[in-house]
Amino acid sequence: MISEILKKYEPKKENLLSILHDVQESSGKNYVSTESVLEIGKFLGMTRSEINGVMTFYTMLSEEPRGKYIIRICVSAPCHVAGSVSVKEELKKVLGIDVGETTGDGLFTLEESACLGVCDIAPAMMVGKDVYGGLDGHKIKKIISEYRSRK
């Protein structure tokens, strides 16, 4: 499955994060399966626990299947001051899930981000690779329904 990805890289430990990113992106479920971890380990000469140690350190990486789109709601201080708490509540309501959970249709996983680096348009969030700012309840409903109709 992931041999095509591994072909792009030299078997060096320094390539671990890049490989994990690629494998995760190609999984369709934004995660790196145990089988993939074992295969990557064989390729780089690393144990499963070593790779697990790295994966659990970084918030973007997951060993559990997640939604097609990761929604990252920014909870940084500037977004907090701009109302991110109520935006997060609104998101939970619209999606029907809590932070860390995935919607039943497998489309969205809701996560928090320490700072997305878009403080000039706070409160902000990312859906997949796209950034949305100046959020309020109305805007959130519109964005989410657009993604729902996209599938």
Partner 1 sequence: MNTSDKKARIVLENAGRIDPLSIKEYMNSGGYEALKKALSMQSSAVVDEVKRSGLRGRGGAGFPTGLKWSFTAPLQGQKYILCNADEGEPGTFKDRLVMEGDPHKLIEGMIIAGYAIGASEGFIYIRGEYYASIEKIEKAIAAAEAEGLLCEKVLGKEFAFKLSVRKGAGAYVCGEETALIESMEGKRGNPRVKPPFPGVSGLWGRPTVVNNVETLANIPYIIKNGADAFRKIGTEKSPGTKVFLLSGKVKEPKAIEAPMGTTLRQLIYDLGGGLAGGIKFKCALVGGAAGAFLGEDMLDVPMDYDNLLAKGAVLGSGVVMVLSEKEEVMPVLKNLMEFFVHESCGQCAPCRTGNKMILDLLGRIEAGKIAAEKGFEMILKAASTMKETSLCALGQSPILPISSALKYYSRELTIK
Binding positions for partner 1, rule: CB under 8 A: 12-18, 20-21, 44, 53-54, 57-61, 72, 75-78, 80-82, 113-122, 126, 129, 131
Sign of the torsion angle spanned by Cα atoms 3, 8, 12, 16: negative
Sign of the torsion angle spanned by Cα atoms 8, 67, 126, 113: negative
Nearest approach in angstroms of CB 42 to partner 1 is 15
Nearest to partner 1 of 12, 96 (CB atom): 12
Walk across the sheet containing 125-127 and list its strands. Answer: 108-113, 69-74, 125-127, 130-132
Half-sphere CA count of 148, side-chain side, radius 13 A: 11
Rounded CA-CA distance 135/64 in Å is 29
Nearest to partner 1 of 125, 144 (CB atom): 125
**Helix (H, G, I), strand (E, B), or coil: what is residue 2?**
coil
Nearest approach in angstroms of CB 121 to partner 1 is 8
Nearest approach in angstroms of CB 68 to partner 1 is 16
Nearest to partner 1 of 10, 104 (CB atom): 10
Nearest approach in angstroms of CB 145 to partner 1 is 23
Nearest to partner 1 of 47, 145 (CB atom): 47
Tokens of 97: 């899930």
